[in-house]
Amino acid sequence: MTGYGSAGNERVLQRLLQQGFEALSRGQLDTAGKCCQQALQIQPDLVQGHFLVGLVAQQARDRKTAFSAFQSVVRLDRDHAAAWAQLARLYMSEGQVNRADAALRETLRIKPEDPLVLDLIGTTLSLMGEYGAARSFYTLANDRRPDQPAFMQNLANNLVYHGETDAADAIFTRIIELQPDSPQSHWSLASSTRAVDTQHIEQMKALLPRHAMDPRGRAFYLYAIGKEYEDLQRWPEAFEAFSTGAAARRETVEYDEKAEIEMFDYLRTHYTRDWFDALPAGNPDPSPIFVLGQPRTGTTLIERIISSHSQVHSAGELQHFGLAVRRLGDYRSPKRFSKEVFAAARELDPHEVGSLYLQTSSKMRGTTPRFVDKLPQNYLMIPLILAALPNARIVHLVRDPMDACFASFKQLFADAYLHSYDQREMARHHARYRRLMACWRERFPGRFYDICYEETARDLEPNARALLDYLDLPWEDACLKFHQQEAAVSTASAVQVREPAHTRSIGRWRRYADQLQPMRQALREAGIDVQ
């Protein structure tokens, strides 16, 4: 660091930066933020001060401040590789692919050796769907700094995406050796392997008391314990762990059910056929295939069947359609979906929305004529998709309501599906979703294809053939061998879709019928017939 002025100021600045970075490492964001402010008051052009501001803002999920801080860093020091890498990741997470690309090129121009920067590049490439390239950078980061758990976790996750579970499990195990109390690594290991005894369960149970005041850590351990008990067919213990884990996770999220109800009501009230018929024409590009519905209902299975076709590329779960709507509607709230988003979206030009979606998703779409966007929540966007991309195809997964609800309830998600950690909340959300889909089905008949998960799992070929007919794709036998596909899968189904179609998940909720009575009753109260 240079240009501090007096030697006294330099010492103060160094002390403040050190304290700030140490506070950040402990999760003490307020303390770290105060250190930044004090340092920048002394020297407004302090590069590392602005960089620390960016890191603090990122941890606080203040994207606007993070963008501004990292941009200040690269204005002051064009060769600050870490700031460029952070900008690349931020731009990518906002769907600003061209800017992300430019920032990534700047990072690579500097030829970074810092393992943290290499790891960040890997993360950005993962967001772009370039998992093979990401793996190279994750590997470099681990080579530069061996036995660093955060870098090891990212590499192992990438290996899981590629179906290399044995190699991934070896890394997860090594992380736990280095850092025995590592909730996420324990959960990752449990998720990618099938338990054969209770050894790992007992290890995790012994660590649980350390997380009495840490609901996020408890959730990782409890969901992992539940999964392994399920592997061992010890159903009561499995449910107890899932239920306790869901309660812990529920402590960490802010689910606004009232706002969700208002959003669903707004969609049904304002996205009418009259509104739709009055819109100008959208973008005629026929390449997108949207696979959507509720999570854990077979969307990944269907996506793999389709993308096994030689004319189709799997683009993963793209946020880009919603991002296009939010950007053109000048929507600045961090909430991805809200009544306000859809109020602004009604006034947008459909052609602009479709074109921006195609432009910003271009790097993830591959080189084939068609591509699959498998973001389940796009079911909220069906009228907008039909308007913006009238020649796109939409495939909607249908699954038994109890199996669908329970599958989400026992899944630990990252930042989505906040309704899934309470039985009644989960059921009420599912009922709203079903009513909305019935509304879309009535208003836009024949404009999307319903496919039943249970029927497809039981009898794959005729259902796969009917699906490809709807998509105007010629039949290819490879679609029946979807489990042999080498392409990466980054969803919660990454392990399951490496197997042929099976029926083991059908009716799984019945093993827990007594414990799931609150969910069952809430569905019935909402008018859904549950057998």
pLDDT in tens, 354-370: 999 999 898 888 899 99
Cβ–Cβ under 8 Å, residues 384 and 448: no
How much of the chain, in percent, has pLDDT values that exceed 90? 77
pTM of the model: 0.89
Q: When comparing pLDDT for 289 and 64, which is higher?
A: 289
What domains sit in the chain, N to C, each tagged with a CATH number?
A: 257-525 (3.40.50.300)
The helix (run of H) or strand (run of E) holding residue 355 is helix 350-360
Cβ–Cβ under 8 Å, residues 453 and 467: no
Residue 491, pLDDT score: 60
- Strand ranges, E, within 357-414: 370-373, 393-398
Give the pLDDT mean for 8-16.
Answer: 85
Residue 95, pLDDT score: 75
38: exposed, middle or buried (Cβ count in 10 Å: 0-12, 13-18, 19+): middle
Long-range own/partner contacts, residues 421-425 (CB < 8 A, 24 or more apart): 421/246, 421/247, 421/249, 421/250, 421/253, 421/255, 422/246, 422/250, 423/516, 423/518, 423/519, 423/522, 424/518, 424/519, 424/522, 425/255, 425/257
Residue 519, pLDDT score: 98
pLDDT in tens, 271-305: 999 999 999 999 999 999 999 999 999 999 999 99
Residue 496, pLDDT score: 63
Q: Copy the structure tokens of residue 41.
A: 């008051």
pLDDT in tens, 454-506: 999 999 999 999 999 999 999 999 999 988 876 666 665 556 666 778 888 89
DSSP 37-58: HHHHHH-TT-HHHHHHHHHHHH
Residue 450, pLDDT score: 98
The helix (run of H) or strand (run of E) holding residue 451 is strand 449-452
- Residue 313 pairs in a beta bridge with 371
3 — pLDDT class (breaks 50, 70, 90): very low
Helix, strand or coil for residue 193?
Answer: coil
Buried b (16+ CB within 10 A) or exposed e, 149-183: bebbbbbbbbbbbbbebeebbebbebbbeeeeebb
| pLDDT of 175 over the 50 cut | yes
Helix, strand or coil for residue 450?
Answer: strand
| pLDDT of 156 over the 60 cut | yes
Give the pLDDT mean for 417-434.
Answer: 97
